[in-house]
Amino acid sequence: MKYAFIQRHRDQWPISAQCSALGVNAYGCPRIWRELRQRHMRVGKERMRRMMRDHAIRAWGKRKFKATTDSNHGLPVSDNLLDRAFRQDLPDRVWTGDITCLATHEGWLYLAVVIDLFSRQVGRWGSA
């Protein structure tokens, strides 16, 4: 049922986005072929490849690791005041945050979040 939905809406939304939203794994040809064989369905690898190519079905490849932080610099570094004390006894004393970038259909979205370490609740967030 999920696969039929993806097929019907492939012109509306990218297949990869639909697979992600519907919890469908984008198997590659060898994996699909093995799965079909385990289910006692006879199909050749080349036919499987051709069908996947004809329907624009591709496996997701693993991305190479890309370092985004370079610690080898001569710039000043702030002291580590928290010293990994992530459990806090009082609210509104220690806040921590992070920023990340998310790939979207319209381009990159940068998301920043600030969290109170006592309650673990998001105090502020914003995007640009």
- Examine residue 24 and state whether it is found in any structural domain, yes or no: yes
- Structure-block tokens of residue 40: 């006692």
Does residue 72 fall inside a structural domain? no
Which of 55, 69, 51 is CA-nearest to residue 19? 55
Look at the block and give the residue holding tokens 């012109």.
11
Band of residue 118 on the pLDDT scale cut at 50, 70, 90:
very high
- Is there a domain that residue 104 lies in? yes
Q: Indicate whether 90 belongs to any domain.
A: no
Instruction: Judge whether 123 lies within some domain.
Output: yes
Q: Is residue 69 part of a domain?
A: no
* Count of domains for the chain: 2
List residues bridging with 127 in a β-sheet: 111
How many residues are there in the chain?
A: 128
Q: Is residue 32 part of a domain?
A: yes
Whole-prediction pTM value?
0.41
Q: What is the pLDDT of residue 60?
A: 67
Domain for residue 63, yes or no?
Answer: no
First to last CA, the chain: 37
CA distance 26 to 44: 19
Domain enclosing residue 26, as ranges = 2-54
For the segment 49-97, what is each residue's pLDDT rounded down to a tens digit?
A: 888 888 877 776 667 778 777 878 888 988 988 888 889 999 988 998 8
CB neighbour class for 48 (10 Å; exposed up to 12, middle 13-18, buried from 19): middle
